[in-house]
Structure formats: C-alpha cells, structure tokens
Amino acid sequence: MAKSSKGLDLGLLIEIAGVVLNSTRNKESKEGQPGGMGIDSKKLAWGLAGVAGQQALKSYSQQRENKRIQKMIASGEIDLDDITKGGKIQKRKKKGGLFRRGLILGLIGGAVAYVLTLPEEKRAELFKQIEQLVSQAMGFVNELQGKPYSKDYEPKES
C-alpha cells in the first residue's frame, strides 16, 4: 500500500470512503420535491468506530512487534544489520494453545452443567437421542466398510 509519512495509507482512505458511502440513504421527500441523499448518522458512527478500532489494534500489534524486535536485538538473537538489509525475522513459536485448551474445557464444562440442570425425564430423552445418533453413525460407518449392520447378521447362501 502507498503509505505516507503521517501513517495514513491508501487502504485506510478507501475503507473510510466505503463507510461513508454505506451510510448514505435517500431522504424522505416532501410533497412533490425530490428527496436527495442523506447520511445515516448511526451507520456512519458505527462504521468509523470500527475503522478506529482496527487502527488501534494495528497500532498495538505494531508496538508489540517493535518491542519484541528490540528484545531480540538486545539479547543478541538478531543483528541490526539483518533488519536493515530487509531480512525476515523469525517469529517465535507459541509455547502452547492455552486459549484453545480453555475453550475446549469451557465447552465441556458448559455441556456437563447443561446436562446436570436438565430434569430427569429430559436427560433420559437426551441420552436416548445421543445413543440413536451414535448407532446411526456406527451403522453408516459399517456400511461404508462393507460390514453387516448388526452382530446377529448371517449372510445369505446363494
């Protein structure tokens, strides 16, 4: 993108123009007069707030990246010459998916809490539906593998 020294780039200008265009609407016309165009102030405010939020997040991530590079230079992992030559800086691998683990544990915990709060008859009905779903899935897998549907199946003699 064509970036200027002020930090305003062409992509941002196009995005702002898109927000302004999306916030226009037809004015309600009075008797016999043409309506014209007007701006929906709520749409414009939400759109500009979204663009401002994107810019704030970009700025924050750029600051974090600059701090990371400064730490790497200070520790001797990379040289300043590497950056000035335009070489790529290796990103560190994340140590673990803590968010992913938390999300999975939260989903499991929520499902368990939901099942425990159900009345007895609804819980029995839910487990019956789950059992039917599992048996249908197993039957489908067995059919794909060419196995019989049930254990007491006897092949026909031809």
Confidence category of residue 89, pLDDT binned at 50, 70, 90: low
Q: What is the pLDDT of residues 95-130, one digit of tens each?
A: 667 788 888 999 999 999 998 898 999 999 999 999
- How many other β-carbons are positioned within 10 Å of the β-carbon of residue 157? 4
Cα 70 from Cα 93, distance rounded (Å): 18
Strand 37-39 versus strand 24-26 pairing type = antiparallel
**Mean of the per-residue pLDDT values of the chain:** 80
What are the residues facing 30 on neighbouring strands? none
pLDDT, greater one: 16 or 4? 16
Q: Is the pLDDT of residue 64 over 70?
A: yes
Beta bridge partners of 37: 26
pLDDT digits (tens, 9 = 90+) for 27-43: 766 666 666 778 888 88
Q: Please state, in angstroms and rounded to a whole number, the distance separating the CA atoms of residues 55 and 40.
A: 23
